[in-house]
Chains A and B, each alone.
Chain A
Amino acid sequence: MLTASYLLAALAVVLAWPAPVALSRARWTARSPFTALVLWQAIALAGGLSMIGAMLVWGLAPLGDSLLEALGGLWRVVFGLPGASGLGIVHVFALSAAALLGAHLVFTLLITAAKVTRQRVRHRRLLNLLSDPSPSDPKTVVLEHEIPVAYCLPGFTGPVTVLSRGLVDALDAQGLRAVLAHERAHLEQHHDLLVLAFESWHQALPWLPTSRLARLAVQDLIEMLADDAALEQVSAPVLLRSLLTAATGTAEALSTPGSVAAAPTEELSSRRLKRLLSPGDALPAPVRAGVLCVALLLLCIPTLLLVAPGLLG
Chain B
Amino acid sequence: MDLLWDGPDALTANDLRDRLAQAEGEAGKELAVTTVLTVLARLEKKHLVTRERSNRPHRYRPVMSREEHTVDLMNEALGTVLDREAVLTRFIGGISADEAQALRRILNDTQSA
B70, B72, B83, B85 — which one has the most chain A CB atoms within 10 A of its CB?
A: B85
A196 close to B74 (CB less than 8 A): no
Contacts of A247 in B (CB 8 A): 92-95, 100
Q: Does A241 make an interface contact (CB < 8 A)? A: yes
Q: Does B89 make an interface contact (CB < 8 A)? A: yes
For A243-262 the 0/1 string (1 means CB < 8 A from B) is 11011101101100001111
B73 close to A130 (CB less than 8 A): yes
A123 close to B73 (CB less than 8 A): yes
B87 close to A269 (CB less than 8 A): no
Kindly provide the distance from the CB of B100 to the nearest chain A CB, expressed in whole angstroms: 5
A116 close to B86 (CB less than 8 A): yes
Q: How many chain B residues touch A (Cβ–Cβ < 8 Å)? A: 42
B69 close to A130 (CB less than 8 A): yes
- By beta carbon, the residue of chain B nearest A264 is B94
Query: Which residues of chain B in 42-101 are interfacial with respect to chain A, using CB atoms and an 8 Å cutoff?
Result: 46, 48, 66-67, 69-97, 99-100
Contacts of A153 in B (CB 8 A): 87-88
A244 close to B103 (CB less than 8 A): yes
B67, B84, B94, B99 — which one has the most chain A CB atoms within 10 A of its CB?
A: B94
What number of A-B contacts does a CB cutoff of 8 Å give? 152
Query: Which of B1, B66, B89 lies in contact with A192, CB distance below 8 A?
Result: B89
A244 close to B104 (CB less than 8 A): yes
Query: Which of B83, B89, B107 lies in contact with A183, CB distance below 8 A?
Result: B89
Q: Does A265 make an interface contact (CB < 8 A)? A: yes
Query: Which of A151, A259, A263 lies in contact with B91, CB distance below 8 A?
Result: A151
Kindly provide the distance from the CB of A7 to the nearest chain B CB, expressed in whole angstroms: 34
Interface 9-mer from A9-17, A103-111, A140-148: A140-148
Q: Does B106 make an interface contact (CB < 8 A)? A: yes
B89 close to A151 (CB less than 8 A): yes
Chain A interface helix/strand/loop/mixed: helix
B100 close to A259 (CB less than 8 A): no
Q: Does A125 make an interface contact (CB < 8 A)? A: yes
A183 close to B74 (CB less than 8 A): no
Contacts of B111 in A (CB 8 A): 237
10 sample A-B contacts, Cβ–Cβ < 8 Å, listed by A number: A130-B70, A143-B77, A147-B74, A186-B89, A240-B103, A244-B100, A250-B93, A254-B94, A265-B84, A277-B106
A interface residues, Cβ below 8 angstroms from B: 112, 116, 119-120, 123, 125-127, 129-130, 143-145, 147, 149-154, 162, 164, 179, 182-183, 186, 191-192, 195-196, 199, 219, 222, 237, 240-244, 246-248, 250-251, 253-254, 259-270, 273, 277
B interface residues, Cβ below 8 angstroms from A: 1, 46, 48, 66-67, 69-97, 99-100, 103-104, 106-107, 110-111
Task: List the 6 closest A-B pairs by CB distance, nearest first.
Answer: A267-B93, A150-B91, A265-B79, A261-B80, A247-B95, A263-B80
